[in-house]
Amino acid sequence: MKPKHCLALLAASAIGALAPHLAWAEAGDPLSDGGIRCAAMMRLKLADTTILSAAMVPATPAESTAAGDVPGYRSFCRVVARVRAEPGSDVGVELWLPAQGWNGVFHGNGSGGFGGNFVLGYPGMVEGLRRGFATATTDTGTAPATPLEGEALAGQPRKWRDWGRLSTHVMTVAGKAITKAFYGKAPRKAYYTGCSTGGQMGLIEALYYPGDYDGILVGAPVMNRTWGHAAVLWDYAAANRAPGHLLSDPKLKLLHKTAIASCWRQGRGLAGDPFVSDPLRCTFDPQVLLCKGAASDTCLTEGEVATARAFYAGPTGRDGKPAYFGWLPGSEMPGTFGWSFLQKPINGQPPFGALFQWVFGPDWDWRRFDVDRDMPIVDARLDPIVNDAMRGSLEAFAARGGKLIVFHGLADTLVPPGQSVAFFDRHAEQMGGVAKLAGSARLFLVPGMMHCGGGTGPVAFNTASGIPQRPPCDDAQHDMFSALIAWTEGGEAPARIVATRYSDDDGDVIAMQRPLCPYPARTVYRGTGSTAAANSFRCELSQE
């Protein structure tokens, strides 16, 4: 099923495995001239910026970094800097500059969670380097935090502000200046990619710094940071406040299978699909799995039903009305960032619970969390600092020709997909309708995909997610980053993106492909042809 013109592009199973397939030979010796220019970066004087290191990395062997082996697609100058653009601010920036073959593009990459290091930006930088871009990332100014641990940020509102808004702009300004100094000319184009927190960072750029990037690709963007963390806390509390409420992996698999069986027709899907095509349209009550007799892995106890209902409902006030989004049917998977992750502590605390310690102090006890009482306090303290993606306008970004692609897995369990839908609806209204917004921004919802990737459905390949597996083709039909570039530079707006699922870990055999349609259009089966083939489907605007 793999297209003939794509057979040479095999997906890799890990970042380090990409090098032998995709590296190319350099003409001449780039280390001589490149090495001289790289060493000169140590003497570069930029406002508020300290260059900590500048060293050449040869094409082979690969350099060992905190992220593991970074493939040496090209020899490059690796620059690490710190920028102190505001009092108390300290934003780390890492930049990779190809010694030869730079094509004039600057590429910024996002982080994840609480940031604190460069690691989560490396997969995107590897892709940028492969494409011949000068590519950068940031630690979001939150060191010594780590992506999953933000306790070190308690009492440091300046770091919260850098994390919530400033750090990406700082990375971009410093990165472009260093790029210009290295090559002797400014970048001709600039692109950004990021997912999760990195998605939020990209939206902040489009909303508040519209001149920074020509094209922005973001996945599963965090927007309402305070309530997003409250949703994770709500789930954790539902599973852990009382004995007998935790959902085991076998129970999660049972719940997942039953939800798909119940929702595929409601969700405008096809029988046999291992995912729900449109879970936003589906209602599912886990009560149907309540044990009639003894507890077993084929049914749910009353406590387990209550936990599942809490996950689906999301944070709810004392009046019984949902205060935020819950997770959608078809998202009940165990594994990395799945429902099992949401139930497990990190250093004895709920996942991402440090945000509440920033407000209530180190002695904060998650067991006493009360939505009605506590969230007004959290929002009063943090909303003006970390929730800027909930505000702002895309009008200036659109006016200068900027292009934005957002993708979101409909089986995401860390960032609610409904939040991205609400974002597009809000900005469509601001800009005079869906058609006007579609000229500069498009949203692709991905059935069965979890947070930034993975899941039971076909994957929308992209650089933003940091997933090392390659799409079947490096083209605008199969790869979101290529689609963004084609749209930005050639005016080819993506009418659809083909998502792919492989039947093997090596990515050699395609199991199915399904087109993704730009919201609010939906994917519709033509009625004939293989349901595993993308051409058997069309994009159609709903008449509802």
Q: Which residues are catalytic?
A: 196, 412, 451
Q: Which residues pair with 134 in a beta bridge?
A: 106
DSSP output for 389-420: GGS--SHHHHHTT-EEEEEEETT-SSS-HHHH
Interatomic CA distance for residues 464 and 480, integer angstroms: 9
Tokens of 363: 């002695």
- Cα distance between the two ends of the chain: 35
Count Cβ atoms within 10 A of the Cβ of residue 315 and give its class: 0-12 exposed, 13-18 middle, 19 or more buried. buried
Separation CA 265–CA 286 (nearest Å) = 17
Which residue reads 């010594």 in tokens? 144
Bridge-based pairing of strands 105-109 and 189-195 is parallel
Helix residue ranges, H only, 440-520 = 480-490
Residue 387 has, within 13 A of its CA and on its CB side, a CA count of 17
Which H/E stretch holds residue 511? Answer: strand 510-516
Q: How far apart are CA 236 and CA 366, in angstroms?
A: 9
Would you say how long the chain is, in residues? 544
DSSP class per residue in 33-91:
HHHHHHHHGGG--BTTEEEEEEEEE-SSSPEEETTEEEP-SS-EEEEEEEE--STT--E
CB of 417 closer than 8 Å to CB of 410: yes
Tokens of 179: 């790029």
Q: Which of 431, 352, 432 is nearest to 393 (CA)?
A: 431
